[in-house]
Amino acid sequence: MKTGLTLEEAQTAILLNRVPLGTQMLPLERALGRTLAADVAAPLDQPPFDRSPLDGYALRSADLTGANREHPAVLEVVDTVYAGDEARIPVGPGQAVRLMTGAMLPPGCDCVVPQEDTDQGDPVSVFVSLKPFQNYVYQGEDYRKGALLLEKGTRLDAAALGVLASAGLTEVEVCRRPRVGLLTTGDEVVSPGTPLPAGKIYGSNQMLLAARLAELGFETETAHQGDNPAAVAEAMRELLETCDVLLTTGGVSVGDKDIFHQALPLMAAVYPGPVRTWTYHPAGGTLFRDARLSGGVQLPGGAAGGLSPGGGGHPGADSAAGMRRLSWNLFSIILTRRATPLWWM
């Protein structure tokens, strides 16, 4: 037994040698909050053409030399281009093309004059001079084709999804989230909404932890069993058929009905090395145990797994459960099937 570990040290020991669950492709609409499984490179330049940053006129800077309000440059307007249109008519000497913000720049121009610096007529009088490529947004100015848009491991927030959409992407490869089984135990616990016999309490672990898992974005499958080792072992087997991580509550201390010590051998639990038990402070002596399952509960892709906070349905324990990283300070047993850390999103 190792004692005096910090929460972070216990987490590190528990997660040692864990491997990711794999990846999946998701449409961008469903990828919010997920984690990128691979780098994303730009499939095109952004913007994909030279464009105008403002409403105004595309023209040649050479035609504006010395222009001011007393002596404006007067130019023929040969076309109007709106955002989304293709610019087809080139700008020649003494000519201008009317533009809206975001519009493609026509061939031959090297600057854009704001409409506020003109009389907006036809022909148009321009009251300022400009330098070459002033108010000119180049193709690829935001990013070039092949540039790294987002790194592997990036948490996809609204801005990141916007970047991906701007590149024309419709789906993205993300880390698969664990499906979490939640098994509450204890003869002393009854379901809310049912009569409360003498000596019993209403269970809140399942509601609290299932809600916390939902907040974190995980799919959850739940079950409850009394203090019967064989029944608990069977419930664990059933949950691990469809779940990557199993979280259980209660039954891990030293009382007569702390039955996980009996249930785990019934599942042919094979521990990676000696059974590792840690106590850390100031949580008051919480135990951590790490195990993998094989033999009768060998699952596709690797060993099976779960987490077990104590609490036995006690409201105080339940309130503490589900807090920091799903109550790492209350988790007592961790069994994992190709498991990722639970907070991987």
Q: What is the pLDDT of residues 1-16, one digit of tens each?
A: 566 667 677 667 666 6
- Give the pLDDT of residue 219: 85
Q: Which of 125-139, 201-215, 280-294 has the lowest mean pLDDT?
A: 280-294
DSSP-assigned beta bridge partners for residue 125: 74
What is the per-residue DSSP string for 62-84? GGGTT--SSS-EEEEEEEEE-TT
Does residue 180 share a domain with residue 170? no
**Full residue range of the structural domain in which residue 106 is found:** 56-126
| pLDDT exceeds 50 at position 58 | yes
Does residue 271 share a domain with residue 226? yes
- Give the pLDDT of residue 146: 97
Write down the mean pLDDT value for the chain: 78
The answer as to whether 134 is a domain residue is no
Average pLDDT value for residue range 167-179: 93
CATH of the domain at 199: 3.40.980.10
Q: What is the pLDDT of residues 146-167, one digit of tens each?
A: 999 999 999 999 999 999 999 9
- Give the pLDDT of residue 36: 95
Does residue 199 share a domain with residue 326? yes
| pLDDT exceeds 90 at position 275 | no
Does residue 104 share a domain with residue 10? no
Does residue 189 share a domain with residue 257? yes
Does residue 154 share a domain with residue 259? no
| pLDDT exceeds 90 at position 54 | yes
Q: Is the pTM of this model over 0.75?
A: no
262 falls in which pLDDT band (50, 70, 90)? confident
Does residue 97 share a domain with residue 242? no
Does residue 290 share a domain with residue 252? yes
- With a pLDDT cut of 90, the percent of the chain lying above it is 47
The answer as to whether 257 is a domain residue is yes
- Give the pLDDT of residue 78: 98
The answer as to whether 273 is a domain residue is yes
The answer as to whether 51 is a domain residue is no
Residue where a domain terminates, one of 141, 175, 209: 175
Cα distance between residue 152 and residue 37, in whole Å: 5
Q: Which residues of 25-38 are buried (b: 16+ CB within 10 A; e: fewer)?
A: ebebeebeebbbbe
Q: What does the block give as tokens for 261?
A: 């010590």
Q: What is the pLDDT of residues 89-111, one digit of tens each?
A: 999 999 999 999 999 999 999 99
Does residue 70 share a domain with residue 191? no
Three-class SS of 144-212? CCCCEEECCCCECCHHHHHHHHHCCCCEEEEECCCCEEEEEECCCEECCCCCCCCCCEECCHHHHHHHH
CATH of the domain at 168: 3.90.105.10
- Give the pLDDT of residue 295: 34
Count of domains forming the chain: 3
| pLDDT exceeds 90 at position 324 | no
3-state secondary structure of 267: coil
Cα distance between residue 136 and residue 132, in whole Å: 9
Cα distance between residue 167 and residue 178, in whole Å: 29
